[in-house]
Amino acid sequence: MPVNEQRTQSGGAGAPARQCNIAFIGSECYPFVKTGGLGDVMYALPRALIRQGCGVRVIIPLYNCIPQKFKDQMTYRGSFMMDLCQDGRAFYVGIMELVMDGVIYDFIDNREFFDWGNPYTGLWEDIPKYCYFSKASLAVLNYLEWIPDVIHCHDWQAGLVPVYLRARFDGTPVGSARSILTIHNLRFQGICGIQHLKYWTGLPDYLFDYPVFKQSEDEANMFKGGLAYADRVTTVSATYAEEIQTTFYGEGLNGHLWYHRAKLLGIVNGIDVELWNSATDKLLPAPYDAGNVLELKKQNKLALQDKLGLEQDAGKFVIGLVSRLTDQKGLDLVNAVFPELVDENTQVVILGTGDPRYEDAFRFYERENKGSVCAYIQYNEALAHQIYAGADALLVPSLFEPCGLTQLIAMRYGTVPIVRETGGLKDTVQPYNEVNGEGNGFTFDRYEADLLLDAVNRGKAVYLENRGRWDEMVLRDMAKDVSWENSAAQYIDLYRELMDA
Ligand code: ADP
């Protein structure tokens, strides 16, 4: 039996009996490394599970880009060599550990794979990197003698875990675990040539046929294989779970997902309400709660305008956009109507990085509208907090949105979301009802620029002409439960169902 598949070696962080023990495996986790919502979920859901009595271990790569202050807190837990490739090529697996607020984080150390990227590079390097990571994660659980009831894998980077679990680790201690694969974003799937994946996984030929990895004559798809082998597949909202079974949203895997629909379930994300708390947020010039939001939000707005070089006027309607700048986020719609979004009563603040065509377009609009538009082309955690607090509305007009966190954060900060009715945006933002004043935000359905503009204008009209109604919505949004508690309980039900099966 190869070293990585041995039953156990030394180590041993024993688990209390009958506790529900879950291993999280994914490619990013706040505060160590985050490029988007996956990083938030890998941080917040384990903490919520621990509050509800589960034991959780989070396994992520020890990327070079993880800040030194965290590396300094890690302790060495052991190392071994693991065979990986078709030709038996073996790699070093080191384990560095850090415990934070009851969650154990195990970082897999291998400089050959994890010294590059931020944390991703390009598929050519990322495919071998995450083949290695998926197999090493299971080997690490055996090595540490910490055998979870359920292994909860996230996105394509951990997509091979359910396959390795059955094809290589059956009969080893970790083989008793069940697996869940969560789709945070189906657009990214880990697709490469069949021979490339065969080489790097070392997995047997029978897996490279259509039911598992194969997706075209010469292409293999890591996510597709994981979805086939996982005991359950979840995604991050009920609407997205339905949408991905259709051609438009299915990214080529709609048929595969429809075939596996009996094990597919949508559980909406929450946010960490301690991390995102406007009353204790140290990054805000004027922290506030529901009791003083109407007054103090103005101060945050004035400070934001000052910081970004916008005309300082608390009466302006400030629209924020905090986003990766990719076509997924509906930026073609924003571009199409941008000149009409801005007027003498309205300012727009954009924070994001990504596709140069959007970065350049927003820089152009900033130049054209000095004092009314700011395009901050950066990833900047502190400014994101200040925009959530200082803006009146947050724009999320996505083409597709598995769940979306920014609209949840916005509501928690009393900032009214303007969203397209897709995926989790549809499930979390109840449209404003002009008749009775109920709702959480302004919405539009079809992916059309005029409809986006109409939604913004409807919001602006309520803000400027019916402030009482607007303020009620601000308070209603702040009171809305966007925490993880409810969703974590649904995950625990799913874990228990698998444990009892
Ligand atoms: P996705 O995962 O598709 O990028 P989500 O809405 O699920 O979108 O999560 C986005 C997360 O990343 C939020 O926490 C948001 O505040 C953060 N974020 C996005 N862009 C930036 C940025 N430029 N600077 C700081 N935070 C950002």
Give the DSSP letter of residue 80. Answer: E
Which of 40, 43, 374, 400 has most ligand 1 atoms within 8 Å of CB, for mutation?
Answer: 40
- Does position 57 have pLDDT exceeding 70, yes or no? yes
- Does position 12 have pLDDT exceeding 90, yes or no? no
Mean pLDDT for the stretch of residues 473-501: 96
The confidence score (pLDDT) of residue 6 equals 39
With H, G, I as helix, E, B as strand and everything else as coil, classify residue 48: helix
Convert the pLDDT of each residue in 108-133 to its tens digit.
999 999 999 999 999 889 999 999 99
Q: Are 231 and 179 in contact (CB under 8 A)?
A: yes
For residue 378, give the ligand 1 atom closest to its CA. Answer: 23
Which tokens go with 33?
Answer: 């490394």
The confidence score (pLDDT) of residue 14 equals 46
Convert the pLDDT of each residue in 187-241 to its tens digit.
999 999 999 999 999 999 999 999 999 999 999 999 999 999 999 999 999 999 9
Which tokens go with 389?
Answer: 């607090």
The confidence score (pLDDT) of residue 501 equals 86
The confidence score (pLDDT) of residue 36 equals 86
The confidence score (pLDDT) of residue 19 equals 84
> What whole-number distance in Å separates Cα of residue 194 and Cα of residue 212?
12
Closest to 349 in 3D by CA, of 357, 446, 378: 378
Q: Specify the higher pLDDT residue, 4 or 356.
A: 356
Any atom of ligand 1 within 6 Å of the Cβ of 425: no
Q: Over the chain, what is the mean pLDDT?
A: 95
Ligand 1 centroid vs 290 CA: distance in angstroms? 24
Any atom of ligand 1 within 6 Å of the Cβ of 30: no
Q: What share of the chain is helix, strand, coil (3-state, %, to 5)?
A: 40, 20, 40
**Taking the chain, what is the end-to-end CA distance rounded to the nearest angstrom?**
29
- Does position 11 have pLDDT exceeding 70, yes or no? no
Convert the pLDDT of each residue in 155-174 to its tens digit.
999 999 999 999 999 999 99
Convert the pLDDT of each residue in 69-85 to its tens digit.
999 999 999 999 999 99
Closest to 70 in 3D by CA, of 100, 48, 109: 100
For residue 388, give the ligand 1 atom closest to its CA. Answer: 16
For residue 329, give the ligand 1 atom closest to its CA. Answer: 3
Confidence label for 18 from pLDDT (cuts 50, 70 and 90): low
Any atom of ligand 1 within 6 Å of the Cβ of 37: yes
